[in-house]
Every structure is written in C-alpha cells, then in structure tokens.
Amino acid sequence: MTTPARPLPAPTPETREYWDGLKRHELRLQRCRACSRAYFYPRPFCPYPGCHSQDVEWFTASGRGNLASYVIVHRGHPAFGTPYVLAVVEMTEGGRMMTNLSGIDDPTPEALPVGAEMEIDFEDVNDALTLPSWRLVKG
C-alpha cells in the first residue's frame, strides 16, 4: 500500500482567480461593493447575512490576519508529518481560511496564542498549484 497523497484542490470557475493569484504569490480575494467587506471562499456574491449583494470585485489583499483558532494534529492525514497545525486565519480585510502554519517546527499551545498576528506565505506544491500557508508575525 502506498501512502495516500495530500488532497489537492480542483479549482472551479468561480474560484479560478484565487488559485491563479496564489501561483503569482498574490492573495486575490473578493469584496462586496455594497457593504465593502471581503469574504472567503470565492463566490460571485456577498455571503454576509443582511447584505447578499451580487455587486462584488476582486482585489489583492494584504496577506495579513489573525489566528482565529486551531488544533495541533497528532493523529492526522498520512501524507502529513505529525504534529501539524490545522489553523483558521481571520484575514484583516475579512473572511476566514483554513491553512497550515509555516515556520513552526514543534507547535505548542503556548507558542500559538489565539488572536496572534499572522502573515501569508506561499507554498509552491507543483507547477500548477500554490497553496497558502500562514506564519506568525515576529513581534
């Protein structure tokens, strides 16, 4: 038996710009022109309750955010070395994304305070795909 490979995304029409942006090491997000909030993941309308405008635009985001929550995985996907961090980052402009953390070899709860400032990294997986990862901003 071979080890199962890391699951990789298959972009869809409404997410293509995001994935193409990552290849250029740019974080392309969408924001709503009606309520001016950014959101994630990509879709052609604003998903926030009370708005739901279809008037949205792509922009290049700052790649800054805060650690919203996380787990330190000890029994996880066989393609990943344990322990690894499954984290959710709340992006400064709006929207939350799941990610892994870079720059952390031995993750501990003490080293990962919820709310910590984060910045994006780009992990080139292959010629066709770059995934985001995020790192703690060194204070």
Partner 1 sequence: MFDSRELSHKVAIVGAAETDTVGVLPNHSVLQLHAESAFNALRDAGLTLDDVDGLATAGVSPAALTEYLGIMPRWLDGTAVGGGSFLMHVGHAVAAIAAGYADVVLVTHGESGRSRVGAAGPGRTDSTPGGQFDAPFGTFGPPTMFSVPIAAHMARYGTTEEHLAAVSVATRQWATMNPRAMMRDPITIDDVLASRLIAWPLRLLNCCLVTDGGGALVLVSEARARDFPKPPVWVLGRGEAVQHTNISQMWDFTEWTAASRITGPEAFRMADLDHSAIDHLMLYDAFSHTPIYAMEALGFVKEGDGGPWFAEMRSAPGGVLPVNTNGGGLSYTHTGMYGMFAIQEAVRQLRGEAAAQVDGVQTSLVHAPGGMFSATATLILGNQ
Among 23, 103, 114, 137, binds partner 1 (CB under 8 A): 114
CB atoms within 10 A of CB 39: 22
CB atoms within 10 A of CB 106: 7
Region from 2-10, 26-34, 71-79, 129-137 binding Zn ion, contact rule CB under 5 A: 26-34
With a CB cutoff of 8 Å and minimum separation 6, the contacts of 106 are 83
Using rule CB under 8 A, residue 41 touches partner 1: yes
Using rule CB under 8 A, residue 38 touches partner 1: no
Among 22, 32, 97, 118, binds Zn ion (CB under 5 A): 32
Using rule CB under 5 A, residue 51 touches Zn ion: yes
Q: What 3-state class would DSSP assign to 18? A: helix
For every residue of 56-118, DSSP letters joined together read: EEEEE---EEEEEEEEEESS--TTSPSSEEEEEEEETTS-EEEE-BSS-SS--GGG--TT-EE
Using rule CB under 8 A, residue 100 touches partner 1: yes
Site for partner 1 in 57-86 (CB under 8 A): 68-77, 79-80, 83-84, 86
Q: How far is the CB of 20 from partner 1 (least distance, A)?
A: 13
- Residues in the site for partner 1, rule: CB under 8 A? 6-12, 15, 40-41, 68-77, 79-80, 83-84, 86, 88, 96-100, 109, 112-115, 131
Q: Which residues bind Zn ion (CB under 5 A)?
A: 32, 34-35, 46, 51, 53
